[in-house]
Structure 1
Amino acid sequence: MRLGAQGVSDTTVLALAAGEGGADAVAELSAFQRLKNRMLIRGVVTEARSASHPGAALAARAYGLLADLEVEAGEEVERVLRYPAVGAWAWRTYRSLRSGNGTSDDPAQLGAPAVVAAVRARIACRVRLPVRDGAIMLPSLGRLTLPEGAEETVDITVRPDADGAELEAAGLTVRVRPRGDRPGWQALRGLRVTPGFEPVVDDLDPYRWSAKEVAEPRLDPGRLRAWGTHLDDAWRVLAAHHATVAEEVRLTVSVLTPVKAPKRGQNSATSRETFGTVAMSDPWHGVGLAATFAHEIQHAKLTALTEAIPLTLPDDGSRHYAPWRDDPRPVYGLLQGSYAYLGVAEFWRRQHRFERDAEAFRARVELARWRRAAYAVTGTLLASGGLNERGEEFVARMRKTLEECAAEPVDSAAESQARREAERHLDAWRRRNPGFRANGWPHTGP
């Protein structure tokens, strides 16, 4: 398979440091992530062979099939290789092979992306794949549940038809079409939002999320419809008032993964392993989901950037107060949080003008609280000694954007409420972490 080369330009770094970046920036970051996935996949095949892993031969065969498919259906091979769960599988499997820890991450599972590419390209093939918990997951397509008594590895035969393909494995035959479940087959479902943005709701793949204990099982139809409704509402908000965020989300986010909600509030996250995935608990309403996207796209961008260009020095063990977390944070975690909340502050700077009554007041409180918090943390970062030269330049540019954000007028009632909430968080943090000092807090600028 082709590898090529990809970097991140100085122009993109500067645009990202300002808090946004837009289509050109996320295109560069996405290209770097695709290259990383391809290198990891090749690494899986090489390491499996070096370790004499039982699945090495099947992995090599699958790699060869992907290379052949790429000649005829390069777009479909590219599509499946950039799927977030494929990247997570490649990363975990490569690490386990390198460390020799003998986990269940099997290099022979590389055959699953090959099957997906063949189905989508309508190309006949036969692939031997390992069976996991009585099933075979085809990333981005769905899960094939085999009859009881299936062997540990089985052949899957792909026979194209006019609507998709017929799959045969271990005596089971199913027709796989773009949508719809059948006996022995559960299809991953997409949410059609707008042309070019139809994220998959991945509630099946074992590699869909790094924290298995919080991943939700398959959504029932009612919950899925609610997700679709809130996503439509969120997209209208983003498209109308946050064009750059909307473009970054459309070009970056391909998967939504349901996770359990905390005892209070909601949960959302991105992961280094699954670039392109946003994990979240059930959304409540469109504006809140739009703010979640504004938050999480910042994490996704910064994670991708720092894989290409480090901004921090090796962790020296120092920990700091973050006004959005209950625990003391290392410099890299502090950088991630401040960058995300820069995006949140900018979201509410734009959005509060379009809210009414209690929602408008709440929006101004959010703006006042998070712009002050993110600005203060940039000061902590610059004084920490934990940033390299590029990191100091990056954070200094973030700080300038937050100074501009601070110029947005906010009424005294909203400012006062924001300060009260910030003070409550700081007091609770000090009680929870008596061995740590929150230097420089409470903060009163900019």
Structure 2
Amino acid sequence: MSGSGLVLPRHRVPAESLIALAEGDGDDHVLDLLVSAERSRRLLLLRLLDEMTSHGVPEVSDGPVPLTPAWELLARAQHAAPDAVDKVLMYPQTGMWLSSALRRLRGTDRETTPLWVVLGHLSAVAAAAGIRAGLDFTITVPMRHGYALVPTLGAAELTAPGPWTSAQVEAAAGQAWITTPNRRVQVAPDSDRGRPGWRPLRWITAGNGDSELALALDDLDPYRIYPRPSAPQRLPDDRVARWQELFEHSWALLLRDEPQTATAMRRGLISFSPIEAGERLRPRSASTGDAFGGVLVSEPDDAVQLAATMVHEFQHTKLSGLLHLTSLYTADASQNEERLYAPWRDDPRPLGGLLQGIYAFTGVTRFWRTHRHSDVGRTPELGHFEFALWRSQLWSAFESVCDHWRLTPLGRRFLDTLRNRCAAWLDDPVPDVPGRLGRMCAAHHRARWRAHHLRPAREWTDATALRWIDAADGPAESAETGTRLAPDRSAMHLDSLATLVRHRLQGTSGHGAGQNTDPTRAVLQVRGALEGDALLAAGQPNAARRSYLAHLSADPDDAAAWAGLGGALTAEGVEPEAAGLLTRYPERARAVQRALVASSGRPGDPVRLAAWLGRALPAS
């Protein structure tokens, strides 16, 4: 398409658009800006792909899917029906493929699919545009694992001699077929499911008229899953019906509680790509700027969860679109980019990742702030808990990054606007029980993250351990701990306490309900949880303390137990010095305990050790 004479518009971000995005979703003009810029970006990527392959790529030039016919067909389609080309070009999976193909050509992607199959996907894109434009043509497209894909339309399932081969797409007089030497399959619209061998792309719809939203439920496109292409995993019809039902309820909920968000989603969400579900109350979802408008999402537990997930991932979509236009932070030229605490992640995150999370969870917090008052279901406390948890964690993230030296002036203004909005939510009243549980879970996540990922300097740790052995009054008050980040890859499921609280508030833990649920059954349902966590979530801090101590007796180095012990002591209102140390700096107790075991073979009493270390802390 490089010779089509297209002139791309210039794009700029007016200050009022930036503020509109920070304060909410922005009006139609702001979303049009992001979508228009993304279209220009896709066209530029296509042009770059053309330039990088114009002198021939050996594996492709001599392979079964030449690129020249694809460029010619795209140019014809663009001339005949530009909207048809845009429909395929702006499909999220097209963007993912473009970025993947360019990374492959640059040698920065080690994906093992043959290069001719990756680049040959251009022919499949062209075929889709040609069919949509009503053109007559014949073109060769790649087949993957027995499927020949026509993006945005569907795929033909054909017998293939191996994982990588090719097929012909032929279109004439408004009809199209996909053929191999052994079979011929007619391309059919979604409503026609009776064509043998054809697997149409299915859609889910909700609302009507100006409130309607239709999303592709894509289980076919190899670029629907990232970072690596995936074979089709066709959903059974009953699961598609379940998605339809949940989506209808979620959309009605968003129209009621988040009408501005819903309006924006109609302009910026295009597809769901179903992925394998995790455990209950731990939904899985993801999005990427390369696939603007697409969301990877597991089948939700209920409509409210899906609505919250849609808000979350749509925030990512908008910020990714903005970052294609302007920079909110400068690049880190160092070899080891700084990693920061993100209250919604198990792992330390780079600045860009933390900013993405902040923007996403600003939307999530806003959602729960509204929905907790309109929820007419049986669990109103759950909405209050979610709001209390996320506003607390969001504020923690703001406190750590708002003055970061790598923020650009625009990034600082953007983040200040978000922070001011969150600050206004801190005074919103929340009922006592869910408010207390939200604060407890936020503190627990942070403590557990610190216990896993932070390490005091060896010199401080050894010296402090010697002072303990010598029965000194306490650690040196002015001692510098020299704490550093030491990412722990074993850190997983740090949100276990919050997940257990959700089970408690929904009455779904084990086979019972409420506070008297057997902790053993609850722990079996929540990966990464200790028995002490289940007791703490159930409102039994004294029993939780005993359980954590028993756990530390068996494993003195367990990060989760150290963090949990601090939460139990805080909830009990006992041993304030130990509770303070383990809530704020659990890595210190864990490190000193490790040194004691290494030097003497005898661990210290966890509560006494934490209280002794806590004597040197300034008042919080």
Contact 1:181 1:187 (C-alpha < 8 Å) held by counterparts: no
Contact 2:144 2:231 (C-alpha < 8 Å) held by counterparts: no
1:393 aligns with 2:402: no
1:120 aligns with 2:129: no
SS in 1 for 2:454: coil
Contact 1:365 1:417 (C-alpha < 8 Å) held by counterparts: yes
List, as ranges, runs of 4+ consecutive aligned residues in structure 1 with deviation greater than 4 Å: 100-103, 212-216
Contact 1:157 1:169 (C-alpha < 8 Å) held by counterparts: no
Which deviates further from its counterpart, 80-89 or 122-131? 122-131
The residue type equivalent to 1:272 in the other structure is: G
The residue type equivalent to 2:197 in the other structure is: G
Corresponding residue of 1:318? 338
The residue type equivalent to 1:360 in the other structure is: P
Structure number with larger C-alpha Rg? 2
**Shift in alpha-carbon separation, 1:101–1:261, aligned structure 2, 3 A:** closer
**Shift in alpha-carbon separation, 1:423–1:313, aligned structure 2, 3 A:** same
| Counterpart pick for 1:144 among 156, 176, 187 | 156
Alignment of 1:373-388 (within 5 A): 373-388=393-408
**Shift in alpha-carbon separation, 1:5–1:395, aligned structure 2, 3 A:** same
Alignment of 1:11-410 (within 5 A): 11-56=16-61, 58-99=66-107, 104-105=114-115, 106-149=118-161, 152-161=165-174, 165-179=176-190, 180=193, 182-195=195-208, 196-212=212-228, 217-263=233-279, 265-315=282-332, 316=334, 317-356=337-376, 359-410=379-430
The residue type equivalent to 2:70 in the other structure is: A
Contact 2:247 2:306 (C-alpha < 8 Å) held by counterparts: yes
How many residue pairs end up in the alignment? 440
SS in 1 for 2:348: coil
Contact 1:19 1:342 (C-alpha < 8 Å) held by counterparts: no
Following the alignment from structure 2 to structure 1, what is the Cα–Cα distance between the partners of residues 284 and 122?
31
The residue type equivalent to 2:152 in the other structure is: S
**Shift in alpha-carbon separation, 1:215–1:425, aligned structure 2, 3 A:** farther
**Shift in alpha-carbon separation, 1:123–1:430, aligned structure 2, 3 A:** same
Following the alignment from structure 2 to structure 1, what is the Cα–Cα distance between the partners of residues 230 and 151?
20
Q: CA-atom RMSD, angstroms?
A: 2.6
Q: Alpha-carbon deviations, 1:361-420, whole Å to 9, x = none?
A: 111111122122212212211233221221111101111111222343222322211111
Following the alignment from structure 1 to structure 2, what is the Cα–Cα distance between the partners of residues 181 and 98?
43
Residue 229 of structure 1: how far off its partner (Å)? 0.5
Percent same amino acid at aligned positions? 29
Following the alignment from structure 1 to structure 2, what is the Cα–Cα distance between the partners of residues 293 and 55?
39
Contact 2:13 2:326 (C-alpha < 8 Å) held by counterparts: no
Q: Calculate the TM-score normalised by the size of structure 2.
A: 0.66
Contact 2:247 2:303 (C-alpha < 8 Å) held by counterparts: yes
Following the alignment from structure 2 to structure 1, what is the Cα–Cα distance between the partners of residues 94 and 228?
16
Corresponding residue of 2:11? 7
Contact 1:345 1:405 (C-alpha < 8 Å) held by counterparts: no
Structure with more contact order per residue of length (Cα contacts < 8 Å, sep ≥ 6): 1
Which deviates further from its counterpart, 353-362 or 386-395? 353-362
The residue type equivalent to 1:109 in the other structure is: H
Residue 263 of structure 1: how far off its partner (Å)? 4.3
Following the alignment from structure 2 to structure 1, what is the Cα–Cα distance between the partners of residues 194 and 321?
35
**Shift in alpha-carbon separation, 1:197–1:101, aligned structure 2, 3 A:** closer
Following the alignment from structure 2 to structure 1, what is the Cα–Cα distance between the partners of residues 279 and 189?
36
Q: Alpha-carbon deviations, 1:421-443, whole Å to 9, x = none?
A: 112212221232233779xx86x
The residue type equivalent to 2:393 in the other structure is: A
**Shift in alpha-carbon separation, 1:411–1:263, aligned structure 2, 3 A:** closer
The residue type equivalent to 2:45 in the other structure is: L
SS in 2 for 1:257: strand
Residue 238 of structure 1: how far off its partner (Å)? 0.6
**Shift in alpha-carbon separation, 1:271–1:372, aligned structure 2, 3 A:** same
**Shift in alpha-carbon separation, 1:367–1:178, aligned structure 2, 3 A:** same
Contact 1:215 1:259 (C-alpha < 8 Å) held by counterparts: no
Following the alignment from structure 1 to structure 2, what is the Cα–Cα distance between the partners of residues 147 and 35?
38
The residue type equivalent to 2:8 in the other structure is: G
Contact 1:159 1:167 (C-alpha < 8 Å) held by counterparts: no
**Shift in alpha-carbon separation, 1:182–1:262, aligned structure 2, 3 A:** same
Which deviates further from its counterpart, 204-213 or 389-398? 204-213
Which deviates further from its counterpart, 262-271 or 305-314? 262-271
1:433 aligns with 2:447: no
SS in 1 for 2:362: helix
**Shift in alpha-carbon separation, 1:266–1:181, aligned structure 2, 3 A:** farther
The residue type equivalent to 2:233 in the other structure is: P
Residue 184 of structure 1: how far off its partner (Å)? 2.5
Residue 271 of structure 1: how far off its partner (Å)? 1.3
SS in 1 for 2:223: coil
Contact 2:203 2:215 (C-alpha < 8 Å) held by counterparts: yes
**Shift in alpha-carbon separation, 1:261–1:212, aligned structure 2, 3 A:** farther
The residue type equivalent to 1:266 in the other structure is: P
Following the alignment from structure 2 to structure 1, what is the Cα–Cα distance between the partners of residues 13 and 194?
44
Q: Alpha-carbon deviations, 1:271-307, whole Å to 9, x = none?
A: 1221111111111111111111111111111111112
**Shift in alpha-carbon separation, 1:152–1:328, aligned structure 2, 3 A:** closer
Following the alignment from structure 2 to structure 1, what is the Cα–Cα distance between the partners of residues 177 and 160?
20
Which deviates further from its counterpart, 315-324 or 359-368? 315-324
Contact 1:214 1:259 (C-alpha < 8 Å) held by counterparts: no
Q: Which structure 2 residue ranges, 5 or more long, are not aligned? A: 456-482, 486-582, 585-620
